[in-house]
A and B are shown apart, each in its own frame.
Chain A
Amino acid sequence: MMKALLEAESVGHSYPGGQLGCEDVSFRLYPGEVLGVVGESGSGKSTLLGCLSGMLEPSNGIVRFDVGGQGLRDVFSLSEPERRLLMRTDWGIVRQNPRDGLRMNVSAGGNVGERLMAVGARNYGNIRNEALDWLTRVEIPSSRVDDLPRTFSGGMQQRVQIARILVSKPRLIFMDEPTGGLDVSVQARLLDLLRGLVRDLGVAAVVVTHDLAVVRLLSDRLMVMRQGRVVETGLTDQVLDDPQHPYSQLLVSSVLQA
């Protein structure tokens, strides 16, 4: 029996003032699985992602992760150094805005190498080679490796961010609207890249998006959220082709058939 990698048990979060973020979310994610979370703005999907990725302590429920392959542990009971190590090793968080996930005054190569140094790599030659290798895999030309990310287009910045995260070989990545704000053609290339990487590396992922095409392409399973609650879960193609809940039906029927 395969062990779960991430487990959410009745996770809920309310903001100060009583405003509901998300409520009673439970699921298990297994190694290599990609879970999509869809819903309109304000549905609580980003709040949920915050709780799952250790950024936002849930007001209710428990988030457990298989830390270092040693078994499930409550993410919020880890010590601060343990949690920071987790974020640098087992986890990767792809931000919607690459400027939040990159250091803009450090070169592209430096951004990637920095993650390796954070987990103890010290040999400059090795670090640089590995950074170069990852930047090539995300299709950043080697001539741009020493340039600052702020001289890059949005799509390139997003790819540098992905290289920075994958270089430390995470077992789980969190993605918040990974293609948000990009041109359609750039989105397509980024999605192809993400899909290839997720498949080749066998990394598990939680992808939050409002774009059904993104989950159709990337995720095995889908969770539909509305007003902080999960209204439907299932295989991605089943939820999209035969949605059961009134809100899922509305969501699917609102998209033009491509």
Chain B
Amino acid sequence: MTQKSLMLQVRNLRKTFTLHGRGGVQLPVFNDISFEVSAGECVALIGSSGSGKSTLLRSLYANYLPSAGEILVKHHGEWVDIASVEARTKLEIRRETIGYVSQFLRVIPRISSIDLISEVAISGGMSSEIAIEVSSALLRRLNLPEHLWNVPPATFSGGEQQRVNIAMGLVRPYPILLLDEPTASLDASNRESAIELILEAKSRGAAIIAICHDETARDRFADRLFDVSQFKAAA
């Protein structure tokens, strides 16, 4: 493939929080961000704490609503602005095109880890038997002890929760992946498994946008860095 195939185009994105309960105080986060990501490419977001990396990632997932600009996502071969389409298309994009590994595990309570992961696979049309198989294989690679698979992750350690999180984001071959600190709170050998899975996703053609403070890990999978702090909006 000589022609790079674009998967994501961010254009003139701005995010400002308005706190109505505080007399309408404005908290500008970033302004006029534009960048592109192609299939098989990994862009790492950098910038100091508070520069808006997670806010940007959440905006790409339609969890935050941008104040201005466009987020064009290649969804079923068409460009769709996830910031402005109707809600059910946003859900469809999340189901089929964009996977998200958040920094904090926030899942449906009282559901076992293996079911959380296989439900994601089933939502992509996998049969429940195969979904369980694929999910088990992932958890095995991530070294999550087998006696934890049938337990809801609420009581897990940070590293254990993180591995459930990664498995949920990688169990389907999403064309676009958003990773917020995927290797934080993992020990060396588990970090290695996570990095390998990310590299595999990249080589199958996923476009990846990642936040990763761990530079050694970041250097392994990121093709280029994108500094969010240079778009800091004036207050």
Contact = CB atoms under 8 A, between A and B. Distances in A.
Interface of A: 30, 33, 188, 192, 195, 217, 220-221, 233-235, 237-238, 241-242, 244-246, 249-250, 253
B110 A192 contact: yes
B20 interface: yes
Contacts of B35: none
A241 B62 contact: no
19 contacts: A33-B88, A195-B108, A217-B108, A220-B87, A221-B87, A221-B88, A235-B62, A235-B63, A235-B90, A237-B63, A238-B62, A238-B64, A238-B65, A241-B63, A242-B17, A245-B20, A246-B20, A246-B21, A249-B20
Q: Which of A195, A235, A249 has the most CB of B within 10 A?
A: A235
7 shortest interchain CB distances as A-B pairs? A246-B20, A242-B64, A221-B87, A249-B20, A235-B87, A242-B65, A237-B63
Nearest to B123: A199
Contacts of B108: 195, 217
Given A188-B110, A195-B108, A235-B90, A241 B19 contact: no
B91 interface: yes
Given A217-B108, A237-B63, A242-B63, 14 more contacts: A30-B88, A188-B109, A220-B88, A220-B91, A221-B88, A233-B87, A235-B62, A235-B90, A238-B63, A242-B17, A242-B65, A245-B20, A249-B21, A250-B20
A250 B24 CA distance: 12
B231 to A, nearest CB: 19
Contacts, number: 45
B21 A253 contact: yes
A234 B65 contact: yes
Contacts of B62: 235, 238
A157 to B, nearest CB: 22
A235 B61 CA distance: 11
Q: Tell me what chain B mostly uses at the interface: helix, strand, loop, or mixed.
A: mixed
A244 B65 contact: yes
Nearest to B87: A221
Interface string B83-118: 000011011000000000000000011100000000
A192 B109 CA distance: 9
B68 to A, nearest CB: 13
Q: Which of A195, A217, A220, A238 has the most CB of B within 10 A?
A: A238
Contacts of B87: 220-221, 233-235
Contacts of B21: 246, 249-250, 253
Nearest to A2: B88
Nearest to A242: B64
A184 to B, nearest CB: 12
A226 to B, nearest CB: 13
Contacts of B88: 30, 33, 220-221
Contacts of B63: 235, 237-238, 241-242
Contacts of B65: 234, 238, 242, 244
Nearest to B86: A28
A72 to B, nearest CB: 17
A220 B63 CA distance: 12
A15 to B, nearest CB: 30
A237 B94 CA distance: 12
Contacts of B90: 235
A249 B18 CA distance: 10
Contacts of A188: 109-110
Contacts of A217: 108-109
A195 B115 CA distance: 14
Given A220-B87, A220-B91, A249 B19 contact: yes
Interface string B1-25: 0000000000000000111110000
B96 to A, nearest CB: 14
Contacts of B110: 188, 192
Nearest to B91: A220
Interface in B99-154: 108-110
A33 B90 CA distance: 13
A30 B90 CA distance: 14
Interface in B44-72: 58, 62-65
Interface string B182-213: 00000000000000000000000000000000
